[in-house]
Structure 1
């Protein structure tokens, strides 16, 4: 039985369209959403009145309003994973002086839900809410490695975008890489998403042992040595394990 409320579903889809296309006009919003221009206008007007959208008085384009930011801040205080991970991420950024990120899988994409920025002047660009593919990067690829088979098959069956010469775009090679990540229990990425960048990631598990997030350290490749890579792997495994344990997971094998 479908309990979905169509009007709410359309409004949320419209909100997501604006988030992905800031400055979008009404006509284009209607075209992309598949709604009539009248319906799109009514939904956008309602969302604007509630603070979820803002319409520029000059360009008439729509951007997100203040309310999503408020909800995001409240989510970070209410979501158990973020509450548990916060002090661990603080400790990691103090130890590594590199970006520390907490990433979740949303369907066939990754989304960053928390960041601790590197205190160093040269650092990687990162922001909360940033979405990306699953076949590149330390955290996203780790999440893909532990994702259900149908998710891996769906990603492998679509054209894999090449970001750098290091990006794996061959499905067979990607499958082999995912098997290796599962076997070793962590992932190290060298410039496959951003040229000249590295990322080390470890899995965060829930009480049942399912991987629900990745915890990662990332920075310029020029700062990474073999000794630091080994250190970051150990730190990430310990940190992710601590978060997982607080969420109720017990490593029986350990």
Structure 2
């Protein structure tokens, strides 16, 4: 527990460095986080030795170090994939008349990486970077369905938050639902994360056939009929095959 507390403190220190506050003194950080000066000093010195922080010789304040440039390059390379995928998503959005989302697995969440918005006046919108638990909503559930069961159980045992009346919060019911999604290779939900909104999603895999993302159409529930759902699913699957080939080149 002590090691976890130390790690949590170390992460909190990094989170203090923002565009609004780029430099911090040790005592400032200690006051801001209500952590002892000694503990903060140990943390920043460790970061400094490893290139994550640098200390200004005059002010003695710390700033983010060059190590983060390496990390940002890795992120940029991953994000560059969206430049290739976005035209395909826009084509899917044009055909389905609904917003299309690329959701990426990050730990136990799905993160919205790219969006092709519907041109309809009434549409479902989220922001890039939106983070959602993997157990709720089509874009995330279709990812969770293809994870190993032991990983699914870890996510479930961390707790299932009810977002709407239709959110599945029963462990057994969720596991059964995930099995069904995996068998049919797509996921449909409505009103589960946001009331009156449907999601229709298919998974995306890396070259090792590990699930890493999903492509999803989402919009107001009233606009979807049984026939339009089937047609939409065909369009998404077709687009997903194109996207899948791009992902294989990166992952």
Q: Establish whether TM, by shorter chain, passes 0.5.
A: yes
Mapped to 2, the partners of 1:209 and 1:49 lie a distance apart of: 36
- Paired residues, what number? 219
Write the mapping of 1:205-244 to structure 2, written as runs, cut at 5 A: 205-244=205-244
Mapped to 2, the partners of 1:92 and 1:28 lie a distance apart of: 51
Indicate the residue corresponding to 1:30 in structure 2.
33
Change (3 A) 1:240 1:15: farther
Indicate the residue corresponding to 1:144 in structure 2.
144
Give yes or no for contact 2:102–2:115 (8 Å, CA) kept in 1: yes
Mapped to 1, the partners of 2:38 and 2:195 lie a distance apart of: 40
Partner of 1:238, secondary structure, is: helix
Mapped to 2, the partners of 1:210 and 1:190 lie a distance apart of: 26
Partner of 1:115, secondary structure, is: strand
Mapped to 2, the partners of 1:28 and 1:199 lie a distance apart of: 45
Mapped to 1, the partners of 2:113 and 2:132 lie a distance apart of: 12
Change (3 A) 1:223 1:16: farther
Unpaired segments ≥5 residues, structure 1: 1-5, 20-24, 53-66, 250-254
Partner of 1:212, secondary structure, is: strand
Give yes or no for contact 1:102–1:112 (8 Å, CA) kept in 2: yes
Mapped to 1, the partners of 2:31 and 2:89 lie a distance apart of: 40
Change (3 A) 1:16 1:141: farther
Cα shift at 1:141: 0.5
Partner of 2:127, secondary structure, is: coil
Unpaired segments ≥5 residues, structure 2: 1-5, 19-27, 46-52, 55-60
Cα shift at 1:100: 0.8
Write the mapping of 1:148-163 to structure 2, written as runs, cut at 5 A: 148-163=148-163
CA-to-partner distance for each residue in 1:149-208, whole Å, 9 max, x for gaps? 232011221321111111110000000000001000000011111010000001112222
Mapped to 2, the partners of 1:28 and 1:169 lie a distance apart of: 39
Give yes or no for contact 2:12–2:33 (8 Å, CA) kept in 1: no
* Structure with bigger gyration radius: 2
Give yes or no for contact 2:164–2:193 (8 Å, CA) kept in 1: yes
Cα shift at 1:209: 2.1
Change (3 A) 1:37 1:88: same
Mapped to 2, the partners of 1:118 and 1:149 lie a distance apart of: 35
Mapped to 2, the partners of 1:39 and 1:143 lie a distance apart of: 39
Change (3 A) 1:127 1:171: same
Mapped to 2, the partners of 1:78 and 1:38 lie a distance apart of: 34
Cα RMSD for the two superposed structures: 3.7
Indicate the residue corresponding to 1:22 in structure 2.
none
Partner of 2:222, secondary structure, is: helix
Give yes or no for contact 1:100–1:115 (8 Å, CA) kept in 2: yes
Give yes or no for contact 1:186–1:203 (8 Å, CA) kept in 2: yes
CA-to-partner distance for each residue in 1:18-68, whole Å, 9 max, x for gaps? 78xxxxx96785249x99567889969644799x9xxxxxxxxxxxxxx9x
Partner of 1:166, secondary structure, is: coil
Write the mapping of 1:154-233 to structure 2, written as runs, cut at 5 A: 154-233=154-233
Give yes or no for contact 1:29–1:40 (8 Å, CA) kept in 2: no
